[in-house]
Structure 1
Amino acid sequence: MAEIDHIVLGARSLEEGAAFVERHLGIRPRPGGQHLGFGTHNMLLGLGRGVYLEVIAPDPAQPDPPRARPFDLDDPALRQALEAEPRLIAWVARTPVLEAVIARLGHRGGEVVAMTRGDLSWRMAFPPQRQDMDNLIPALIQWQGEGASSRLPDSHARLLQLEGEHPEVDAVRAALAERGLEEALKLRPGPHARLVARLRRADGVEVALASG
């Protein structure tokens, strides 16, 4: 029903985010573009077939958007955390039947919004705040035509595994199962919510990016 599309690294600025990725993965992400009307812009790094890393930051060239920026970028606690350094903040799952999934989930699935960047277009649904289990439940995306990953050169870095920790791990597991994502996130109990992406660099070195 759904599968991992990309992981999301938040940053105060794209330059800070790109430098962080280059330092940890040994390669710099390439420019993406603006999300007009949403107050953000991004850079991207291909992680092999169908998967990529997105660096996202507030776009100083845009006015404040009418709604909160995606992935809690306007949340004061996250903004304070990003003052220290960029960090993994979310992941996104791809589905070919977004409307059907959201219809089944009801209000728990969130509102479907149309987004564009250049000639790419997609529809996306973000879980309502406080129902995303601290971003362990992914936003869902349905690409209209080819997706962003198909246009990215292969960095030869690979996403090996996504992991999650949460004090209510059974609730997270149930919410993922509703979306057909039982196998996408390796879950374990923990005192605080935490998302971890384990990656292998092109040189074979394994690294972890985490939300905290």
Structure 2
Amino acid sequence: MAEIDHIVLGARTLEEGAAFIEQHLGVKPRAGGRHEGFGTHNMLLGLGRGTYLEVIAPDPSQPDPQHGRLFDLDDPAVKVMLEAEPRLIAWVARTPVLDAVVARLGPRAGEVREMSRGDLSWRMAFPPQRQDMDNLIPALIEWKGEGASSRIPDSHVRLLALEAEHPDAEAVKGSLAERGLEEAVRVRRSPHIRLVARLRRADGQEVALSSG
């Protein structure tokens, strides 16, 4: 069984990402930290119920990583997109049995990577490119001990729904179902590929963040 762990907003810089979140959600994310060896750093916003929003950007203090930055931040198309403004670029699902899921999915699960930030540590499996359906299929995370959400103050912003749009909606549904995520995302057929997060601000206003 898996569930939504966090949603990911990409930005050229953390400053741009934080300003975007404050403008749209009415609250500023708090400092996170560096992903050593992966070329990124982040800021975090608690969404309650073990869920949070991550703002991620290239870390100029780190050298370029060997395998490229997380969530396709080095992809030329993503770079062009983020030149305009920060965007929702991905989401991550939490599972307590990552090895079992990887064993069942085989190569479709992707390579498991060991990661850490400060005294937090976790393992992640990113779907191979072209099998992630433009990041509609999430990376899977297994926290070692408590996860990041337990340390983030509640912003009183809430994630109401996560939606995926794709020309082959049935393929998206199938890939989510084999990861135990068929109830996590609303999937609909569309000529355009898009990830949409619907949130409610602390003042009650509803806001949609999307990948396009």
| TM superposition shift of 1:158 | 0.1
Match of 1:204 in 2: 204
Q: Which amino acid aligns with 2:39?
A: G
Alignment gaps of 5+ in structure 1: none
Mapped to 1, the partners of 2:99 and 2:61 lie a distance apart of 32
For residues 57-82 of structure 1, the C-alpha deviation after alignment (integer angstroms, 9 at most, x for no partner) is 00000000111111110100000000
RMSD: 0.4
| TM superposition shift of 1:133 | 0.7
Q: Which amino acid aligns with 1:92?
A: V
Mapped to 2, the partners of 1:109 and 1:192 lie a distance apart of 24
Match of 1:140 in 2: 140
Mapped to 1, the partners of 2:121 and 2:6 lie a distance apart of 16
Identical-pair percentage: 79
Match of 2:167 in 1: 167
Q: How many residues align?
A: 212
For residues 131-152 of structure 1, the C-alpha deviation after alignment (integer angstroms, 9 at most, x for no partner) is 0011100000000000000001
Q: Which amino acid aligns with 2:11?
A: A
Alignment gaps of 5+ in structure 2: none
TM superposition score normalised by structure 2: 1.00
TM superposition score normalised by structure 1: 1.00
Q: Which amino acid aligns with 2:37?
A: G
Q: Which amino acid aligns with 1:73?
A: L
Q: Which amino acid aligns with 1:19?
A: A
SS for the counterpart of 1:68 is coil
Q: Within the alignment, does 1:51 sit opposite 2:51 as a pair?
A: yes
| 1:106-121 pair list within 5 angstroms | 106-121=106-121
Mapped to 1, the partners of 2:33 and 2:67 lie a distance apart of 19
For residues 13-56 of structure 1, the C-alpha deviation after alignment (integer angstroms, 9 at most, x for no partner) is 00000000000000000000000000000000000020000000
Mapped to 1, the partners of 2:138 and 2:128 lie a distance apart of 11
Mapped to 2, the partners of 1:125 and 1:109 lie a distance apart of 6
SS for the counterpart of 2:164 is strand
Match of 1:152 in 2: 152
| TM superposition shift of 1:114 | 0.3
For residues 152-190 of structure 1, the C-alpha deviation after alignment (integer angstroms, 9 at most, x for no partner) is 100000000000100011000000000000010101100
